Amino acid sequence: MAKVYGNNAHNGNAQLKREYEEKMQAWKGPKTISNVITMIGFIGFMGTILLSFIGFMPSVKSAVEFWFIALVGAVMKSITNSRYEKYKGKADALDIGIQGEEVITSTLTSLPDEYMIFNNVALNYNRQLTEIDCIVLSCYGIWVVEVKSYKGVIHGLAANDMWSRIKTSKSGKEYDSEIKNPLKQVERQVQILSNVLYRKGIRTTAQGYVVFPVAENVNVDSDKVFLNSSQLKREILSYNQVVLPKDRVETIRDVLTQL
């Protein structure tokens, strides 16, 4: 089993998810109150209208008051629902991301003993900042892994700046959106990592990969993009020639653990 350094990749997202869930709960009470106020106002207003139809003559003032209450409730409902759904959407998105990262971490941890896993590696080189989801190190090489927890079907060309993501709702309606080309992101991360190691006197290269662990399908013209963690693991294990001596691996390990 591979040795893991640093926190699990999903720890930061889990904390952020809890914060969003707390904000959701904070808006849950006002959301319920606004619904009640809206209902009281609406029922009261409709009641005055109904009474007028059956011969009773409720005061205009009462109708206006109930209408005003319903209006205030509707405004409050719009605001509270908006805030609640905002934080719920962010919490749900992070939950999907956490699930994807957990799958990747679990799979890579099952690599043989000579492999090392570094999660959430923050790099800074000449004011170029980046955070790498995962770095795998062994005598067979270095692999930089970017995890993208997008649902749906991903389409794109390696040369393009933007890719397409198509999601299908439960009702069968398709939604098309764009995402930044993650291959360009991981290429930049590989370059920054190489520069950081070079500054420490280590000349070596790394391989960069992108994984979409929760996507339905990925249609991209690159062998650096995978649909699941098992494909990534097989790719890493396909490198079976020693390219880094033991002392070099230990030096790189020390550099990465000190970042």
Which residue matches tokens 């062998």? Answer: 223
Kindly report the average pLDDT of the chain as a whole number: 85
73 vs 36: CA distance, rounded Å: 8
pTM above 0.85, yes or no: no
* Predicted local distance difference test score (pLDDT) of residue 9: 46
Q: 119, 8 in Cβ contact below 8 A?
A: yes
When pLDDT is cut at 50, 70 and 90, the band that residue 54 belongs to is low
58-69 confidence digits (pLDDT tens): 555 676 777 788
Q: How confident is the model at residue 70 (pLDDT cuts 50, 70, 90)?
A: confident
pLDDT digits (tens, 9 = 90+) for 126-173: 777 788 889 999 999 999 999 998 889 999 999 999 999 998 877 777
- Give yes or no for residue 56 having a pLDDT over 70: no
Q: In this predicted model, what pLDDT tens digit does every residue of 217-246 receive, in sequence order?
A: 999 999 999 998 899 999 999 999 999 999
CATH of region 112-257? 3.40.1350
Strands (E), 64-168: 116-125, 128-138, 141-147, 153-156, 162-168
Q: Give 63-68's long-range contacts (Cβ < 8 A, gap of 24+).
A: 66/40, 66/41, 66/42, 67/41, 68/41
Give whole-number Cα distances, 252 to 5, 54, 130, 248, in Å: 13, 86, 18, 6
- DSSP class of residue 132? E
pLDDT at residue number 101: 72
